[in-house]
Amino acid sequence: MSAFREKVAERIFMLCATASAVMTSSVLLFMIVLGLPVFRKVSIFEVFSAPWSPHQGIYGIGPMVSGTLWIAFSATVIALPMSLGTAFVVTSLGGPGLRRFLWALVRFMTGIPTVIYGFVGIFLIVPLVRNGLGGPGMSVIAAALMLAVMISPTMILFFSDSLQAVDPAYCQAAKALGATRMQRLLYVMLPKALGGMTSGFILALGRALGDTLIALMLAGNAIAAPESLLDPARTLTAHIALVKAADYDSLEFRSIFACGIALYLFTTVAVVSVRLLDRKKS
């Protein structure tokens, strides 16, 4: 009877895994099929690099790819030192009261709706950028700053879990040799946790690449590749939300599926990178 239950459970789990793989592949196939008219008109390279000018019959998503990369990488770079510092305090450097407070705050931040971050960005970050740095205010840096705050809990949780997973015997041995808390953190815990922390960084980058609302509200949505952090930009996700076409067979509407393919590829690269890191660590 026990063997029968195990066999049924195994079949159910295999069925669920197969269904998940089929659905994921079907989404990609769906976007490729609906985006074929665009790829038939111009080459794949031109679609992902050409400008967006539907009045001239040009439906490239190059500016949106550039805007997505600018905002996502800027946000991740800004969030990295904040997340590292918080994770270090939570796992090693802070007192018990401070650790509990920061841990509760980080968990609370994970539940805040994205639209709240967007409103805070509009009424706080945008005026600060406009008055302090110049430019229109709604720009790459405004979106990146707010996005950095939003993705930092993801990085902090991964960083903290990786640091806490280090074998305590290593830390105890270093302590017995006279190492301070900072020395134990930098020379014992950090090297051992680097693989898991790198996975957290990549997943946070993937979340930044796929965010819609903050980029839509704060980046300015200019259909041009940004040349500096103060320039407005439009991301792939914002472009999908903003394109309105009365004719669903038009190339203008079909171009949003090219945006979906680009986002799918970005996400795939992030997930595969994490898998390779986990395999290397194992």
CATH number of domain containing 90: 1.10.3720.10
Domain membership of residue 22 (yes or no) is no
Q: pTM of this prediction?
A: 0.84
Got the DSSP string for 163-219? HHTS-HHHHHHHHHTT--HHHHIIIIIHHHHHHHHHHHHHHHHHHHHH--HHHHHHS
Nearest of 185, 227, 205 to residue 273 by alpha carbon: 205
Give me the pLDDT at residue 1, please.
57
Reported confidence tier of residue 276, pLDDT bands at 50, 70, 90: confident
Domain membership of residue 274 (yes or no) is no
Domain membership of residue 16 (yes or no) is no
Q: Is 112 helix (H, G, I), strand (E, B) or coil?
A: coil
Domain membership of residue 236 (yes or no) is yes
Which of 113-117, 142-146, 175-179, 213-217 has the least mean pLDDT?
A: 175-179
CA dihedral 198, 200, 206, 212 (to 10 degrees): -150
pLDDT tens digits for 100-136?
A: 888 888 888 888 888 888 888 899 899 999 888 877 8
Domain membership of residue 29 (yes or no) is no
What domain range is 131 assigned to?
63-247
Domain membership of residue 127 (yes or no) is yes
What total number of domains does the chain contain?
A: 1
Alpha-carbon distance of 258 to 253, in angstroms, equals: 10
Q: How far is CA 148 from CA 74, 76, 115, 127, 137, in A?
A: 8, 6, 15, 18, 17
Domain membership of residue 1 (yes or no) is no
Strand ranges for 96-215 from DSSP E: none
Domain membership of residue 279 (yes or no) is no
